[in-house]
Copies of this chain bind each other. A is one copy, B any other.
Amino acid sequence: MTAKKGFIRRTKQREVILDVLRSTRSHPTADWVYQEVRKEMPNVSLGTIYRNLKTLTEMGQALELSYGSTYSRFDGNPENHYHFVCEECGQVTDLDLPVQKQLEEDVSDMIDGQVSYHRLEFYGVCRDCLSLAEATDHEAE
């Protein structure tokens, strides 16, 4: 073994992708990034864009705006309320927090537009998955 295991190499592709990301405030989609990067590296592949956006996000150099899962979830309670999403098991729980309706007016004034609703979501690890992780840790000892 010569190269350090799990090391992240610096590549021209990832560099250009990060430059593109930093050059805009438009919160681009993967495909938009792809088109931009192609201007500088015509042979770059879309797979590389996705791979690196993921890597950059994991490295804390970028933010991904989407749910962990690609599919929608539905709620029979149509009143606005906030959620907690467990990143381990995917469970979604309702939170008993007061809904700050007046925030919508604040934002509506800020952007000089019209706000119809807002969503607040918390991400992390739920109690069950936490104790499960502990149990596994002990096992490994």
- A interface residue numbers (CB < 8 A to B): 18, 21-31, 33, 53, 57, 60-67, 69-78, 80, 83-84, 86-87, 91-97, 103-104, 106-108, 110-127, 129-130
Contact = CB atoms under 8 A, between A and B. Distances in A.
Contacts of A120: 118-121
Nearest to A96: B110
A112 B125 CA distance: 10
Nearest to A21: B76
A31 B61 CA distance: 34
Contact of A70 (B28, B70, B80, B84): B70
Nearest to A66: B72
23 contacts: A21-B76, A26-B91, A26-B92, A27-B73, A27-B74, A53-B72, A53-B74, A57-B74, A63-B75, A64-B73, A65-B72, A65-B73, A65-B119, A67-B67, A93-B111, A97-B103, A97-B110, A111-B126, A114-B124, A114-B125, A116-B123, A116-B124, A119-B119
